[in-house]
Structure 1
């Protein structure tokens, strides 16, 4: 009887084991191709897809310390009449299974941005493995060159601006990095201008053993209006006022001049922004108020704290106005002021949109106020008043 019961137990155990899920089809990391960056170009009626793959065994070693060998980076290039056809060509020579879920950045060429970007981006959205969180950039540069620009100290390529733009932005806020989901949302939100950071290469600042060592930088942004209409590219010097109207700004600097001479260098932090709208004779007018904390890191002439606060406020106000007017030159609402009208007075916005293509002019931003409060001037104190 005991033998019989024991056989029953063994039989039941074997049956239960058959119900357990196993890992028979698991693949090791070296047996999978992980795409880490995606580039999209358009030329002569064809879409061109660039892909970046890294040796993840090297990445794992690089994460624990510096390597004495440069990182290995593979780049692929495929073409097709549609975006989907170009992407599918990647599999032809991939050798192993290709995984798209590790993409952390997407680069779009200027030519691609001039296509029907909303329609073409929808194709990319249908790839379930591609997440909504990659950083997204525009560029005029060779995408292949961008994908192979190295990090410092032979670190992993994941330690470049391409994959980690946020840390540098926190230290010096200028053009805010954009996630893919934010970019898509801005393209489809009425009365909103999507600003896509322009990724380029600086070949002159850094040298390695007296040889130029190119590094990635962000210089300006591409402006695309609602429904993906391409407006143009504005460089950093044309967008100096944009940082003061970005909620993400953490720390940014300005030079203060007194009587035409450089007087102080000031860092401003966490600007508080308030936008408002009023209708004047049926025409929308916008007001902007900025208040920010400031630290003086350099004082070059005899100048007081009060003077620095006043002069810094004037610099910021002028930068805001100059950037606004630079946007108008390419028919772009770089501050998305029109979105205030859309949200607060949708009916009026629809009426004005039907009667005019341009709802902004040089008088639309009619009031800008800036207040700067100095909190720190260093060990050498400055007089409070003249």
Structure 2
């Protein structure tokens, strides 16, 4: 009798799952795009939807049929109202539990960014580790892009998890949680990766639109300060990330002499002086692998030129940041933690806290760890 009762109650408990929907009966929303019309004071919301066939595949195979990539569009005075309108018109039911990315336009950055941050930050149904991007492209074109060989959008950088592994010659994504933490810091810059479309890199039967991270939108003290693009953005990301690796060209007398593959250690800041504004030195250790020698040169001469070139690029980036009143090297993060009393004085009469004289010295120490097949003697030249 006791066993029968246990079996009966087991069936009762299992019946609680009877209301769940099958996975193929839901439309999975994996990305949300937000645009804003300042004249109409209205949001336009884009939802990227996938059904189960978009992601299901057997080992070593994929569907030979084109996989539908649905993009929903709706407008409203608030983000929630716009999403609600689309929800009413959507069957199978929309499911938001697997959203991986949020993309906002430049109009949002300039006019209503704080409100949008609060909406996504407070929504408990969204994961705090979902990726966060900005774009200057049309959102429907961003969401329409697929992976190479017609793979579904989950294979694009837009829906790839925040990467903690080595990144080569590229800028990694950032999570909403990480960006909000940096955005709300009292000092130091917050940087938002910019998604762009490249239609030239790959050609096939049709034009292949590839997504890439082409730059960083910059914020300081909760204000939008513009952007850094191209090689400068990659170098900025490399300095601030221990997992990023870049190829680096070395020139002597205007001629390309060598190419290195480099990883940066933590950028160390040494503060000194007792004034209200930070005064500091920078120290950076770099691990470099020799990729290619274009012109024969001495080991010491090449190493010194590599160090000198990196130091110059750091100073140029620092100067660029000052011009935008942006702390690209995160100098302020260490300053207000190590010198709280001086930070309080600075906060009372806040203006941008860095200037051309704040950076006193920059020292880069390069260790060449691998020479590949090149033979050398330290007192002679590479062969």
Q: TM-score, normalized by length of structure 1?
A: 0.90
**Match for residue 271 of structure 1?**
265
Q: CA RMSD in A?
A: 2.3
The 2-side partners of 1:99 and 1:274 are apart by: 45
The 2-side partners of 1:274 and 1:100 are apart by: 42
Q: Classify 1:385/1:168 alpha carbon distance in 2 versus 1 (closer, same or farther; 3 Å).
A: farther
**Match for residue 37 of structure 1?**
31
SS state at 1:289 partner? strand
Which structure has the bigger radius of gyration?
1
SS state at 1:362 partner? coil
**Match for residue 217 of structure 2?**
222
Aligned residues: 377
- Structure 1 segment 1-386 matched on structure 2, within 5 A: 12=5, 16=9, 19-22=12-15, 23-44=17-38, 45-61=41-57, 64-164=60-160, 170-209=166-205, 211-226=206-221, 228-239=222-233, 241-279=235-273, 281-386=275-380
Contact 1:244–1:271, Cα closer than 8 Å, also in 2? no
Note the alpha carbon deviations across 1:81-124, whole angstroms, 9 max, x for none.
Answer: 12222222221211233221211111111111123423332222
- Give the drift of 1:169: 7.4
Where has structure 1 moved over 4 Å in runs of 4 or more?
8-15, 165-169
The 2-side partners of 1:63 and 1:198 are apart by: 33
Note the alpha carbon deviations across 1:134-167, whole angstroms, 9 max, x for none.
Answer: 1111111111111111101222311111112656
The 2-side partners of 1:14 and 1:136 are apart by: 48
The 1-side partners of 2:278 and 2:123 are apart by: 42
- Give the drift of 1:259: 1.8
Note the alpha carbon deviations across 1:148-196, whole angstroms, 9 max, x for none.
Answer: 1110122231111111265697241543321111011112121131100
Q: TM-score, normalized by length of structure 2?
A: 0.91
Q: Structure 1 unaligned runs (5+)? A: 1-7
Contact 1:247–1:273, Cα closer than 8 Å, also in 2? no
**Match for residue 4 of structure 1?**
none
Contact 2:103–2:132, Cα closer than 8 Å, also in 1? yes
Q: Which stretch shifts more, 374-383 or 277-286? A: 277-286
Contact 2:220–2:325, Cα closer than 8 Å, also in 1? no
Contact 1:256–1:315, Cα closer than 8 Å, also in 2? yes
Q: Structure 2 unaligned runs (5+)? A: none
Q: Classify 1:277/1:168 alpha carbon distance in 2 versus 1 (closer, same or farther; 3 Å).
A: closer
- Give the drift of 1:327: 1.6
